[in-house]
Amino acid sequence: MNPCRALLVFLLALAPLAVRAATIEMHVNGLVCAFCAQGIEKKLRKLPATADVVVSLEDRLVAVALKDGQDIPDVDLRKALTDAGYTVTAIQRTETPIDAIRARVKQARR
């Protein structure tokens, strides 16, 4: 294999590692009470790739911090929330640390 092709293969193998997000933010309709938030948090914490969860009723936001090198497919996230009776309107992967999201949510409450 020529050196250029070997380099290309190497870089393509690393590509999935570069696009992995640290946090998944979801906008969810149907959140109306603290019991809803607690139920979602409990359900998502059971997923093996979950490191932490933040749920904001006011912002209709659910954020999941991922364990290093792990991911949760969008379809699994949607299924977990729709099976619990909620509607996921958007899923966004970001490098924003979960603590920054927690602080942003807390600041918005003031």
C-alpha span between 72 and 16 (Å, rounded): 14
What are the pLDDT digits (tens) for 67-102?
999 999 999 999 999 998 999 999 999 999 999 999
The rounded percent of the chain whose pLDDT value lies above 90 is 71
End-to-end CA distance of the chain: 61
- Over range 10-39, report the average pLDDT: 76
In this prediction, residue 108 has a pLDDT band, given cuts at 50, 70 and 90, of: confident
DSSP 83-108: HTT-EEEEEEEE---HHHHHHHHHHH
Long-range contacts made by residues 107-110, C-beta under 8 angstroms, separation at least 24?
108/56, 108/58, 108/59, 109/58
Q: What's the pTM?
A: 0.78
Domains of the chain plus CATH, in order, are 21-109 (3.30.70.100)
